[in-house]
DNA sequence: GTGGTCTAGACCACC
DNA sequence: GTGGTCTAGACCACG
């Protein structure tokens, strides 16, 4: 699994790591029990400070996505969110609402919005395939 | 129009105001030319500092949602954004990307995502009609 | 790059900063990617409050002149504005209108105005070349 | 002489009055000794507060453009600025510099800038003729 | 009454 | 170290 950071995005580096690893787990690219790169290793690879990686791993452990075993390493734990279906859907709905409001202000109509969604979904598909 | 802040969310107060007002405009609940509550008034209502409200209103003005007239007040603007087509689309795409990532985390698939978008779009239509 | 504020001018300090930095970028004195002085540093240099500098930098970011990376600093951005062609032209037209009105007040005619514009354009060219 | 206020411009009403009258004097449309409309009359015509007109007239008197004779009215005084040629030119040059910087940020080139200046000059000509 | 600018100082998030 | 958010309170410009 290869991580990539976008330093210009304004999104905190540690959050980008957290999200990409959660994404990998959700995608099935990182299976339960798989070992993550060591803090030192990942920090070197991404050319960032070890503290930043440590913070990301700490966050992941806090969320129950990974498990650290002292002296052994960091491993993928279970299998994703445990929220009920309804709660999961409403989280997604909230994100879509934001997109709809944004589209309104950008004077982009319903059909065009759907078209863009299709485009972005395809872009994500490609990234997924390209990396697996 | 009643605004509500969630101080526990970690989301900056001024951004919550911005989003709720943009939402109101998109909904048609705030019509072109309508006057927003004065900075002092809203600050008192929400029990936050004047400057925070001022920052929110400034942000809305930057985005072209609102127009302020010195000594008169702040009003909902007509035109909408002046961004180039490409920039407008990429703003919407960014919002959709966030929704796609959220969907992945929530283990919600492509087709279901589209279905939820349709639902939300319909919900917006209805609310808009219901109020006009 | 050295900034200077004129406190007697009545022109807001934060706007003077914005204008001088935009001027520096237009001149080529501030190149893409260059780091601006930190908020704290500039505030101290100019003997004004941090918030005032922060407001100036925020304004520059809104206008797409500058990019800020949390915990790193503020940097000159490449692209330029994302406004639509029409909006871009009308911004320039507004600036020219101000000059035309000024010329009228100063009893300076149409042809002379054009002559001065040519002079100033040449001056800009030279200064740009002289520094590169 | 007909004055027009643009309430949306953000430019203070009293300043718009000042500028339009100074403009009229510079154009020769308002000759020395001509009587201006009374405060009450102009306030009614422009649908603004009398205080605002009074402030404008006060400013004009302060600048030596008009003269108020108690119980008679307000009259045009002398004939415009008394600055030396060089000072007058450099005021105009400063305004043009601002336009040039603006043009750079709006990615509008030298030739296009001149074209826009011509357009705006024509627009001003028309307004002038249309009113005389 | 309205909004605009600025100060002084606090606390937080990020690297 | 960097920037981001917020408060409290002052003074000014405008109508």
Determine which of B20, B81, B89, B99 to mutate to test the interface with A (most A C-beta atoms within 10 Å): B99
Query: What's residue C39's pLDDT?
Result: 96
* A8: closest CA of chain C, how far (Å): 7
Contact with chain A for residue B15, Cβ under 8 A: no
A and D adjacent (3 or more CB pairs under 8 angstroms) = no
Q: List the one residue out of D111, A46, C29 whose CA is nearest residue A38.
A: A46
- The beta-carbon neighbor of B65 closest among A80, A100, A105 is A105
Contact with chain D for residue C84, Cβ under 8 A: no
A and C adjacent (3 or more CB pairs under 8 angstroms) = yes
On chain B, the residues whose CB falls within 8 A of the CB of C87 are 82
Q: Are strands C66-69 and B66-69 parallel, antiparallel or unpaired?
A: unpaired
Which two three-digit tokens encode residue C68? 């800020």
Q: List the one residue out of D34, D30, D8 whose CA is nearest residue D20.
A: D30
Looking at every residue in chain B, the average pLDDT score rounds to 91
The residue assigned the tokens 């990376």 is C69
Determine which of C59, C64, C82 to mutate to test the interface with B (most B C-beta atoms within 10 Å): C82
Helix (H, G, I), strand (E, B) or coil at C132: coil
Q: Is the dihedral of CA C97, C99, C101, C107 positive or negative?
A: negative
Q: Percent of chain B having pLDDT more than 70?
A: 97
Contact with chain B for residue A119, Cβ under 8 A: yes
pLDDT digits (tens, 9 = 90+) for A16-66: 899 888 878 876 778 888 999 999 999 988 888 899 999 999 988 888 888
Residue A121: band (very low, low, confident or very high) from pLDDT cuts 50, 70, 90? very high
Determine which of D5, D6, D8, D51 to mutate to test the interface with B (most B C-beta atoms within 10 Å): D8
pLDDT digits (tens, 9 = 90+) for C91-106: 999 999 989 988 887 8
Query: What's residue C130's pLDDT?
Result: 63
On chain B, the residues whose CB falls within 8 A of the CB of C65 are none
**Residue B76 near residue B25 (C-beta atoms within 8 A):** yes
Query: What's residue A79's pLDDT?
Result: 57
Residue C82: band (very low, low, confident or very high) from pLDDT cuts 50, 70, 90? confident
Question: Is strand F in 7 Å reach of the CB of C8?
Answer: no
Residue D71: band (very low, low, confident or very high) from pLDDT cuts 50, 70, 90? confident
Cα(D3)–Cα(D60) distance, integer angstroms: 15
Which two three-digit tokens encode residue A74? 């960091």
Nucleotide minimizing C1' to CA distance for residue C53: E6
Residue A80: band (very low, low, confident or very high) from pLDDT cuts 50, 70, 90? low
Query: What's residue D77's pLDDT?
Result: 82
Q: Can you list the alpha helix ranges (DSSP code H) found in C1-109? A: 13-27, 39-46, 50-62, 85-105
* A26: closest CA of chain B, how far (Å): 6
On chain A, the residues whose CB falls within 8 A of the CB of B114 are 114, 117
On chain B, the residues whose CB falls within 8 A of the CB of D8 are 67, 69
- For residue D46, give the H/E element and its range: helix D39-46
Is residue A132 predicted with pLDDT exceeding 50? Answer: no
Say if the Cβ atoms of D12 and B67 lie within 8 Å: no
Cα(B109)–Cα(B132) distance, integer angstroms: 35
Q: Which chains lie within 8 Å of chain D at 3 or more CB pairs, if any? A: B, C
Determine which of B92, B93, B121, B122 to mutate to test the interface with A (most A C-beta atoms within 10 Å): B92
CA C131 and chain centroid, separation: 18
Q: Can you list the alpha helix ranges (DSSP code H) found in A1-132? A: 13-27, 39-46, 50-62, 85-105, 110-131
User: Is C48 or D65 the better-scoring residue by pLDDT?
Assistant: C48
- The beta-carbon neighbor of C120 closest among D23, D93, D105 is D93
Is residue C122 predicted with pLDDT exceeding 90? Answer: yes
Q: How many Cα atoms are found within 13 Å in the side-chain-facing hemisphere of B119?
A: 12
In terms of Cβ atoms closer than 10 Å to its own Cβ (0-12, 13-18, 19+), residue A50 is: middle
B and D adjacent (3 or more CB pairs under 8 angstroms) = yes
CA angle at B70 for the pair C49 and B30, rounded to the nearest 5°: 105
* B94: closest CA of chain C, how far (Å): 16
Cα(D26)–Cα(C5) distance, integer angstroms: 32
Say if the Cβ atoms of B87 and C85 lie within 8 Å: no
Residue nearest to nucleotide E2 (CA to C1'): B71
CA angle at B90 for the pair C32 and D106, rounded to the nearest 5°: 45
On chain C, the residues whose CB falls within 8 A of the CB of D101 are 19, 22-23, 26
Q: Percent of chain C having pLDDT more than 90?
A: 69
Contact with chain C for residue B62, Cβ under 8 A: yes
**Distance from residue A20 (CA) to nucleotide F10 (C1'), in Å?**
48
Is residue A109 predicted with pLDDT exceeding 90? Answer: yes
Highest averaged pLDDT of the listed ranges A51-60, B76-85, D80-89: A51-60
- The beta-carbon neighbor of A121 closest among B80, B81, B110 is B110
Is residue B128 predicted with pLDDT exceeding 80? Answer: no
Nucleotide minimizing C1' to CA distance for residue B38: E2
Which of left, alpha, beta for D116 (phi over 0: left; psi -120 to 50: alpha)?
Answer: alpha
Chain F bases closer than 7 angstroms to a protein Cβ: 1-10, 13-15
Q: List the one residue out of D121, A114, C12, C23 whose CA is nearest residue B93.
A: A114
pLDDT digits (tens, 9 = 90+) for D5-58: 887 777 889 998 998 888 788 767 888 889 999 999 999 888 888 999 999 999
Query: What's residue B66's pLDDT?
Result: 95
Q: B48 to each of B2, B15, B20, B37, C54, how far by Cα in Å?
A: 15, 13, 16, 14, 21
Sheet strand arrangement including A73-76: A35-36, A73-76, A66-69
Residue A104: band (very low, low, confident or very high) from pLDDT cuts 50, 70, 90? very high
């Amino acid at each position: 699994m290869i991580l990539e950071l976008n330093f210009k995005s304004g999104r905190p580096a540690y959050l980008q790591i957290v999200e990409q690893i959660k994404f990998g787990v959700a995608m099935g690219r990182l299976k339960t029990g798989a070992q993550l790169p060591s803090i030192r290793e990942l920090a070197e690879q991404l050319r960032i400070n070890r503290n930043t990686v440590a913070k990301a791993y700490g966050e992941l452990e806090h969320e129950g996505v990974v498990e650290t075993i002292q002296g052994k390493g960091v491993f993928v734990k279970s299998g994703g969110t445990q929220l009920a279906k309804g709660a999961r859907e409403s989280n997604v709905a909230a994100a879509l609402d934001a997109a709809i409001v944004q589209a309104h202000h950008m004077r982009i109509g319903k059909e065009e919005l759907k078209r863009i969604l299709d485009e972005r979904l395809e872009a994500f598909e490609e990234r997924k395939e390209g990396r697996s």
